[in-house]
Structure 1
Amino acid sequence: MLSDLYLWIKAVHIMAVISWMAGLFYLPRLFVYHVERSDGAAMGAVFQTMEEKLLRVIMNPAMIVAWVTGLMMVSIPGLITWSSIWPWSKFIGLIGMTWFHMWCARRRRIFTEGGNTLTGRNYRMMNEVPTVMMVLIVLSVVVKF
């Protein structure tokens, strides 16, 4: 049955990944602004609301849908050649993206507790992590090395 729905599952997967990646790129940027431009409690509350909504309303559902549809595609017989390197390198990239998502969620929680110790520069550097994971995943899937 999943084979018949493959193209629909793949389309939903791509849309979920795009949404998830948008959040993974934007949330650390919000953290940069939160650290560097938050000049009072009111502005800090605005950033916390934006960060929380981005994570809860967009990123978490997108990550879940990406994982579920990805697992659905993986379960279609004959779709993946497991003796190749690419499914494993994609999986490593996916684990890295999921770790980064959880790291962002933890950093948001630390902001709400008033315990942030990282600088804007730290968040800018961490903002490169999803880019590296995306490059690994896209090259794995498209080039299939």
Structure 2
Amino acid sequence: MLWIKAFHIIFVVTWFAGLFYLPRLFVYHAMTKDAISNEQFKVMERKLFYGITTPSAILTVGFGVWLLVAYWWDAFLVVTGVGWLHLKIVLVLILIVYHIYCGKFLNDFKQDRNHHSHTFYRWFNEFPVLILIVVMILVEVQPF
């Protein structure tokens, strides 16, 4: 199980790397004025989203589900001491929605339909940081 846990952590790191960098690309893309830069950002965003971020998300969830199944008794059938895990799962589900929303923004940029400013994307970029902080505290401290 330690191998599964290691791969889960590895893909969490790569997923978050993508979730941190993709909205940062959106910031710069929203500020661009010329067609060459616009097309270059479209390529970078597509490769990051489909080549790194989405596969990492799928593998993160896959290995996470594997760990849940392996520790089913400890995680769900024991009544006390696993509330942190339930909250972590909810936060991961929220992060999946965030990931899908990044895909929506990617599609908007692809079709030259972006309606948001670079400031919006700067704030949007901070959301996964908050999720990461809370999830790491939940996993390491297991406060409830």
- Which blocks of at least 5 consecutive residues in structure 1 are unaligned? 1-5
**TM-score (norm: length of structure 2):** 0.92
Q: d(CA) in 1 for partners of 2:107 and 2:142?
A: 38
Q: d(CA) in 1 for partners of 2:83 and 2:69?
A: 18
The answer to whether 1:13 aligns with 2:8 is yes
Q: d(CA) in 2 for partners of 1:39 and 1:121?
A: 16
Among residues 65, 86, 95, which one is paired with 2:59 in the alignment? 65
Number of residue equivalences: 139
Alignment root-mean-square deviation, CA: 1.2
Deviation at 1:136, TM superposition (A): 1.6
Q: Which runs of 4+ in 1 moved over 3 A?
A: none
Structure (1/2) with the larger helix percentage? 2
Correspondence for 1:3? none
Deviation at 1:95, TM superposition (A): 1.1
Q: Alignment identity in percent?
A: 32
The answer to whether 1:128 aligns with 2:101 is no
**TM-score (norm: length of structure 1):** 0.92
Correspondence for 2:19? 24
Correspondence for 2:87? 89
